[in-house]
Each structure stands twice: as C-alpha cells, then as structure tokens.
C-alpha cells in the first residue's frame, strides 16, 4: 500500500492504526494536520508576517513530514504536561481522520 501523501510504500512495521485509516504514514498524517516544520517552530507566515518558510528545502515529502514530527516532539517534550498534550493531540488526529473518511 502506498501512502496517499508521500507516495512511498507503508511497510508492515510502519503501520499506525490511526494513520492507516487515512492511508498515510504516521508522520505524513501528522504533517498534513499539524503543518510544516516552520509552522511548528512558529517561523512561518502565520506567526511572522511575510515569512514564506514552510517545509525544509531539499527534503522529500516524507522526510519533511518526519522533520515536522521530530520538531513537534523536540519542542513539546521539553514542556511540562507533554504526555497529556500528546494524548489530546492524538485524539484530535483520530477525530480528524474520522471526518476525512
């Protein structure tokens, strides 16, 4: 099965039940909902007027998705309550996937 976002195969070892409902890798689903690295790091046009930062240049779709997930975990893991927020984020993804289908 190919990921609908990055077109790379989803290997059996990479199947995430929630992401699989959307036909995506876990990181690709995260990227499609949470936005690019620049958004997670608050460097994009949403936070800095005129900024055109998005996915890191030179990365494949999947690499950029992984980078977004890593940026989120890096930033979020430093703050208190990270586990609770991650659970809430996970529940939001589930709700979003349910709406997509």
Q: Which residues of the shown chain bind Zn ion in the complex (CB under 5 A)?
A: 3, 5-6, 25, 28, 39, 44, 46, 62
Q: How far is the CB of 5 from Zn ion (least distance, A)?
A: 5
Nearest to 18 by CA among 8, 6, 10: 10
Q: Which is nearer to Zn ion, 28 or 37 (CB)?
A: 28
| CB 44, CB 38: distance < 8 Å | yes
Q: How far is the CB of 35 from Zn ion (least distance, A)?
A: 5
Helix axes 26-34, 61-76, angle to 10 degrees: 70
Q: Which is nearer to Zn ion, 4 or 73 (CB)?
A: 4
In degrees and rounded to multiples of 5, residue 2 shows phi and psi of: -95, 145
Q: Which is nearer to Zn ion, 20 or 86 (CB)?
A: 20
Q: How far is the CB of 82 from Zn ion (least distance, A)?
A: 21
């Amino acid at each position: 099965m190919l990921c609908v976002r990055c077109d790379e195969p989803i290997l059996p070892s990479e199947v995430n039940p929630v992401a699989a409902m959307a036909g995506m890798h876990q990181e690709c689903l995260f990227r499609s909902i949470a936005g690019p690295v620049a958004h997670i790091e608050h460097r994009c046009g949403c936070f800095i007027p005129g900024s055109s930062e998005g996915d890191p240049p030179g990365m494949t779709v999947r690499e950029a998705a992984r980078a977004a997930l890593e940026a989120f975990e890096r930033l979020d893991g430093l703050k208190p309550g990270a586990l609770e927020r991650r659970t809430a984020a996970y529940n939001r993804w589930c709700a979003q996937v349910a709406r997509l289908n």
